[in-house]
Amino acid sequence: MLELKVTNGNVFIPGAGFFQTQVGVKDGKIVMLGADLPEAVRTIDANGKTVMPGAIDPHIHLGIFNDFALECESETRAALAGGITTVGVFMGGAESYLPQLGSLIDIVNSKTSVDLFFHLSIFTPDQMAEMEQYYKQFGVTSFKFYMAGVRGVFPGVSDGFIYEGFKKVAAMGDRATACVHCEDQSLLDVAFDKVCRETPEGTLCDWANAHPNMAEEEAIMRAYYLAQKAGNRLYIVHISTKEGADRFARLCTEGDCRAFGETTSAYLSVDKKDDIGLFAKMLPPLRGATDVDGLWERVRDNTLSSFGTDNVSMNRAIKQAEKGMLGAMPGYPILQTHLPAILTEGYHKRGVSLETILTKATANPARIFGLYPQKGTIAVGSDADIVVLDLKKERTVKSEELFSYGDFSLYEGKTLTGWPEVVIKGGRVAYENGGIFIEPGAGSYLKRTL
């Protein structure tokens, strides 16, 4: 007897298409697909709904402005309710990660409601020397390099440093990945100083002006060049500009680098003129409507491979939007609205195919980060992380109804169309009828292998 089966749904299997099939679950795994599955303890009728693999958000942050354990608990519940069943968390800092990771993983295993893996940012030669150890002890196979830093918080690293890091990633093999934040520091510095002189009280548009589009485009060229020379796999995080995405498309056509581009749901759905104002301050900044459209074109033609959120949770008290362009903190809680925002802007408004959208939200990040086919698909043997998606469901966003502790949303008062109805995590019904039915710690840390 099955523990769970999902019937009557339109089942999306990335790479294969949509099928009218039942999905059978036992011991946390998908064990059967077919027309007439055996009886199950619980049957979920997905009539009229899309059944998809749990989304994978490969790009989130936890514990930047608030306690890691607190955010690990509340924000992974927001993710879950939004149909995200696996997250990749970027960790940073100037210290060795070796003494920290064990206890962080213990926290993850006791607090998270989704499965979670780490990417480690590499800032120092000591950290670079330990990359192999991070893999051997903790199963970390992806590393991040910042071509530009955050003023007053941390500096970026040089091309020379990045090239050394890329060679180490290349030496780790095909399944190791270098993630890069692409913006040129010197172009930012000049623009930033000018904006600070002229409009220090600034708006979200001024904030965008302090981070010119060309700074992203230029840095993408350099990152691609360095990766070609070093021979590593490259993942460009949060591409936010039309210029950057277009340049990346040309590089990929002409070059032979194994390169992947990510954009985020915010860059695909909110522009710098939005009423939300400085609550949407972010690094890189939200851009213009031309960029939003340009990114969607690069989603459509498959230049961009995956969708993240770059979620940095916070509430209004931490955000301090009232402190103006310079005083407001960068980031926003966005996990629960990730899929609905992409479906609204891509599928409903622009007619981007559901297959394109869902593949970039599931199988692609799973493949890139070495989790496929355990994650990112609906297949016999895969983890039973399954979302029953109601594409037609409209919901007006009220941040107080979302699971994040954050008390604002980029979509406050806006209606998004396409929401998860049921989320199954590890074979259990985890989210249903607006409630969460698993305890913190039901998810776990994912060690990856090369």
- Residues forming contacts to Zn ion in the complex (CB under 5 A) are 310
Whether the Cβ atoms of residue 200 and residue 325 lie closer than 8 Å to each other: yes
Residue 59 beta carbon to Zn ion: minimum distance, rounded to whole angstroms: 6
C-alpha Rg value of the chain to the nearest Å: 21
Q: Give yes or no for a contact between 110 and 116, defined as CB atoms under 8 angstroms apart.
A: no
What are the two backbone dihedrals, phi and then psi, of residue 322, each rounded to the nearest 5 degrees?
-70, -15
Least distance (Å) between residue 296 CB and Zn ion: 21
Please answer whether residues 420 and 391 qualify as being in contact, where contact means their C-beta atoms are separated by less than 8 angstroms.
Answer: no
Which CB sits closer to Zn ion, 145 or 347? Answer: 145
Q: How far is the CB of 308 from Zn ion (least distance, A)?
A: 8
**Rounded (5°) CA angle 149-154-158:** 50
Comparing CB distances to Zn ion, the nearer of 330 and 420 is 330
Strands 2-7 vs 10-13: parallel, antiparallel or unpaired: unpaired
- Quick one: 267 or 347, whose CB is closer to Zn ion? 267
Q: Which is nearer to Zn ion, 217 or 310 (CB)?
A: 310
Least separation, in Å, of the C-beta of 423 and Zn ion? 24
Q: Which is nearer to Zn ion, 83 or 284 (CB)?
A: 284
Q: Closest separation between CB of residue 310 and Zn ion, Å?
A: 4
DSSP 205-259: HHHHHTS-HHHHHHHHHHHHHHHHHHT-EEEE-----HHHHHHHHHHHHH----E
Shortest gap between Cβ of 305 and Zn ion (angstroms)?
17
| Order of all β-strands in the sheet with 40-45 | 29-34, 22-26, 2-7, 40-45
- Cα-Cα end-to-end distance for the chain: 36
Q: Which is nearer to Zn ion, 6 or 314 (CB)?
A: 314
Nearest CA to 183 out of 209, 228, 151, 222 is that of 222
- Cβ pair 128, 122 in contact under 8 A: yes
Q: Cis (ω within 30 of 0) for the bond into 373?
A: yes
Q: Which is nearer to Zn ion, 89 or 416 (CB)?
A: 89
User: Strands 29-34 and 22-26: what pairing?
Assistant: antiparallel
- Please, what is the minimum distance in Å from the beta carbon of residue 144 to Zn ion? 8
* Least Å from the CB of residue 334 to Zn ion: 12
For β-strands 435-436 and 115-121, DSSP reports them as: unpaired
Ramachandran bin of 277, using left for φ above 0, alpha for ψ from -120 to 50, beta for the remaining angles = left
Q: How far is the CB of 32 from Zn ion (least distance, A)?
A: 38
Give residue number: closest CB to Zn ion: 310
